[in-house]
Amino acid sequence: MAMLLFLLFSLKLIPISVLSQSIRNITIGSSLSAGTNNNSWMSSPNGDFAFGFIKLEQEDTNDFLLSIWYAKIPDKTIVWYANTDTPASNGSILELTSDGLVLTDPSGEQLWKTEGLDGRVSRVILNDSGNFVLMDDNFANVWETFDNPTDTLLPTQISRRESLSFFFKMMVILSMYSVNLPSGYVNDNYYSSGTFDSNASSSGTQLVFDMYGGMYILRENNEKFNLSEEIRVSTTQYYLRETLNFDGVFTLYQHPKNSNSSDGWSIVWSIPDNICTYSVHNADFVQGCAEDELSNNNTDIYDFEVLIDIDWPFSDYVLQKPFTEENCRQSCMEDCMCSVAIFRFGDSCWKKKMPLSNGRVDPGLNGSKVFMKVRKYNSSLLPPPTIVIKNRRSTLILVGSVLFGSSAFINLVLIGLICLSTSYVFVYKKKLRRVNQRDYAVETNLRCFAYEELEETTNGFDKELGRGGFGVVYEGVINIGSTTRVAVKKLNNFLLQEVEKEFKNELNVIGLTHHKNLVHVIGFCEAESERLLVFEYMSNGTLASLLFNGEKPCWKLRRQIAFGIAKGLLYLHEECTTQIIHCDIKPQNILLDDYYNARISDFGLSKLLNMNQSKTNTVIRGTKGYVAPEWFKNMPITSKVDVYSYGVLLLEIISCRRNVEVELENEEKAILTDWAYDCYKDGNLDALVENDKEALEDMKNFVKLVIIGIWCVQEDPNIRPTIRKVTQMLEGVVEVQVPPCPSPITIQYSLY
């Protein structure tokens, strides 16, 4: 019995003994020199991982990387590194101090160190999971590589919001985006988990890589949101690692533990599943996805037209800095995505891709150079010559000479061919006239769909997303390199003339716009009496459904949405080549994308103004409760009508109630705009949000938004601010003044 107890006790001591051996010589003051015979400072107890210096593979360098790697695989696959920006030269020293790890070059210059440990470090360990940990006297972790990841995650690694590496952005979603070096300019994310939730209890807190190869976001309510496929890989048979590769694909790899081959890594799953479909929106990832014309010598195909002080403000996708003018030209020439490069400030190169929109002359650019890529003349790229029949007389002479010089059979064949050709020409010309008659004042980057294609896309128009006065919106799925959800708006055809006007108006307006707070149109269909528009799908529905269907969304999100709508309207009113008045701003026309960004939709009621126009007269447009008083007074209509509607909408966002609720027992609350002013005047703003704790804790911004809303709903449009002034007040650039009473007769207008 004593022997059995001794054996059991001995077995329990084995891991501790092995652990002691692995850290035996690593005490405060210990050091390791790069380039010595043994560049490994320590190994994990099971021998799977090693920590130390790895020599970089470039033949012309003698530099080293402080790393953790798989020790039993011949190619020493790296899973963590410290000093990628400042490689350590031969003779550099790594030292363990009470402040942590310090890496210096042979001259004593510091290359890298662990930050914020303030003398708390007393020991170090590399555990079997590959986590390198610094501990204090009480064996508590004070720093670890699992909390400071680079491009690889290992099984059991948990990454919190504040500890994720540069390629992740973890708030309540997981995003991947590219960063332009050396400028640090961040592109739009090319992948997102779509896990945003306005409910704080559902917000993501941790990114977890479990021991079986699964990856998920853990929310505050302990709910798991899986990012990977449902899999279970045996960790007794395979090494596992998740790595963000150079092409932007995040991939789970496995490697047999009993294999000595360095080629043993195989893919289990990856996100995104097809990076080529994402490179359409992010031009950094073009390897394997590039256009066919990308060649080693693009100067044979393209040249640059040089312009001065021209800009397309919303087409940037890369900032390269510091760059010379020649670097800028060359970079754009070698990039198949680059249509224009703008060289500014003597060292900044902004690359822009199609579609170029909102182009303008801007003297404020102070002589910046624009390099516009244009195709050189090249006969091999020209289409084949077209035979043109100049006139009827010469045609008859040609036909007669052929007929009389040929046999009867050939004559018949020729006559038949001529008849077919003639009918084809007439049909073609007819179609061409129909196309030319269409009022497409848009850049032709919209896809033209066949009606049958959209019918199939929507499964026979079976899933309705919403409807309005001019049509019904259906959900559909199309394939544009990958399966993509879309919203198909089918316009009513009971009044073809009105539908035609609506269709062309909406197509023209949306085709001319490009802004992150506007819904993007993908294409259209014009088939006999049917008119349809295809939009990007907005996964989180309308603002109305968010505000009025139960629990209030968080205050921060509501503020974010209010800002987004204002910026979208500013673009429509002042930043488009053609000024646009929307005329129907309301919660049902504000859609929410994957990240709950506000996107203005439904331009069917928009009124287009030329840049030299500021007002127009028209029949009443809009929705009751949101219509500005000037519509009823036969007054000129300006962009201030949208400001009025925005003010009503802003008060709805603040209070999470509809602007008109006539069923309320308290009639004083029936009209939101009047009640909001009464609450403000009487110092009773708590009632407006019904004790919304988050809003009341942010009292300064809460009061400011209410005041801005009251300014926007002034009956006199001359008192109302412009949307630019509204945006400046929201951003705190312009001081918000005390508003006057909107109007004693606002009620009769609001109830329209």
Say if residue 49's pLDDT is above 90.
yes
Which of 373-387, 401-415, 453-467, 623-637 bottoms out in mean pLDDT, i.e. has the lowest? 401-415
CA distances from 380 to 158, 182, 301, 386, 608 (A): 57, 39, 11, 15, 43
Contact of 250 with 271, CB cutoff 8 Å? yes
Under the banding of pLDDT at 50, 70 and 90, the label for residue 512 is: low
Under the banding of pLDDT at 50, 70 and 90, the label for residue 170 is: very low
- Across the range 592-607, mean pLDDT stands at 79
Under the banding of pLDDT at 50, 70 and 90, the label for residue 197 is: low
Contact of 115 with 57, CB cutoff 8 Å? no
Reported as a single tens digit per residue, the pLDDT across 278-326 is 543 444 544 444 443 444 456 778 889 999 988 887 777 788 888 899 9
Reported as a single tens digit per residue, the pLDDT across 113-123 is 998 898 999 99
pTM here? 0.46
- CB atoms under 10 Å from CB of 115, counted, come to 10
**What's the pLDDT at 217?**
79
Q: Which of 63, 584, 674, 692 is catalytic?
A: 584
Under the banding of pLDDT at 50, 70 and 90, the label for residue 493 is: low
**What's the pLDDT at 462?**
92
Query: Tokens for 538?
Result: 């907005």
The terminus-to-terminus CA distance of the chain in angstroms comes to 93
**What's the pLDDT at 184?**
63
Fold of 543-750: Transferase(Phosphotransferase); domain 1 (1.10.510)
Specify the DSSP element, H or E, that contains 80: strand 78-81
- Across the range 78-89, mean pLDDT stands at 87
Question: For residues 124 and 25, what is the distance between their CA atoms, to the nearest angstrom?
Answer: 10
Fold of 447-528: Phosphorylase Kinase; domain 1 (3.30.200)
Q: Is the peptide bond before 322 cis (omega within 30 degrees of 0)?
A: yes
**What's the pLDDT at 747?**
39
**Can 584 be counted among the known catalytic residues?**
yes
Say if residue 381's pLDDT is above 50.
no
Q: 490 among the known binding-site residues?
A: yes
**What's the pLDDT at 484?**
84
Contact of 265 with 78, CB cutoff 8 Å? no
Question: For residues 315 and 308, what is the distance between their CA atoms, to the nearest angstrom?
Answer: 17
**What's the pLDDT at 163?**
41
Q: For a pLDDT cut of 90, what percent of the chain falls above it?
A: 33
Under the banding of pLDDT at 50, 70 and 90, the label for residue 205 is: low
- Across the range 153-167, mean pLDDT stands at 62
Looking at the domain that runs over 19-148, which CATH code has it been given? 2.90.10.10
Domain boundaries, the chain: 19-148, 298-379, 392-437, 447-528, 543-750
Number of residues written out for the chain: 752
Q: Is the peptide bond before 363 cis (omega within 30 degrees of 0)?
A: no
**What's the pLDDT at 79?**
94
Report the candidate in 535, 486, 597 with the shortest Cα–Cα distance to residue 189: 597
Contact of 534 with 524, CB cutoff 8 Å? yes
DSSP one-letter string for 186-211: EPPPSEE-----SSGGGSEEEEEE-T
What string of H, E and C letters represents the secondary structure of 703-733?
Answer: HHHHHHHHHHCCCCCCCCCCHHHHHHHHHCC
**What's the pLDDT at 606?**
57
Between 71 and 445, name the one with better pLDDT: 71
Q: Which of 536-550, 619-633, 655-669, 735-749 has the highest mean pLDDT?
A: 536-550
As a whole number of Å, the CA-based R_g of the chain is 33
Query: Tokens for 272?
Result: 């995104």
Fold of 298-379: Hepatocyte Growth Factor (3.50.4)
Question: For residues 432 and 693, what is the distance between their CA atoms, to the nearest angstrom?
Answer: 62
Question: For residues 154 and 130, what is the distance between their CA atoms, to the nearest angstrom?
Answer: 7
Directed axis angle between helix 640-655 and helix 555-570, to 10°?
170
Please give the distance of CA 242 from its chain centroid, rounded to a whole number: 23
Contact of 397 with 389, CB cutoff 8 Å? no
**What's the pLDDT at 51?**
94
506 three-state secondary structure: helix
- CB atoms under 10 Å from CB of 687, counted, come to 14
Report the candidate in 717, 747, 506 with the shortest Cα–Cα distance to residue 631: 717
Between 352 and 647, name the one with better pLDDT: 647
Q: What is the DSSP letter of 616?
A: B
- Across the range 256-273, mean pLDDT stands at 78
- Across the range 611-626, mean pLDDT stands at 57
Say if residue 135's pLDDT is above 70.
yes
- Across the range 596-605, mean pLDDT stands at 80
Which of 184-193, 403-412, 482-491, 583-592 bottoms out in mean pLDDT, i.e. has the lowest? 403-412
Question: For residues 475 and 432, what is the distance between their CA atoms, to the nearest angstrom?
Answer: 32
Q: Is the peptide bond before 272 cis (omega within 30 degrees of 0)?
A: yes
Domains 19-148 and 543-750 in one fold: no
Question: For residues 134 and 145, what is the distance between their CA atoms, to the nearest angstrom?
Answer: 9
Mean pLDDT of the chain: 76
Reported as a single tens digit per residue, the pLDDT across 685-717 is 999 998 889 999 999 999 999 999 999 999 999
Question: For residues 8 and 1, what is the distance between their CA atoms, to the nearest angstrom?
Answer: 11
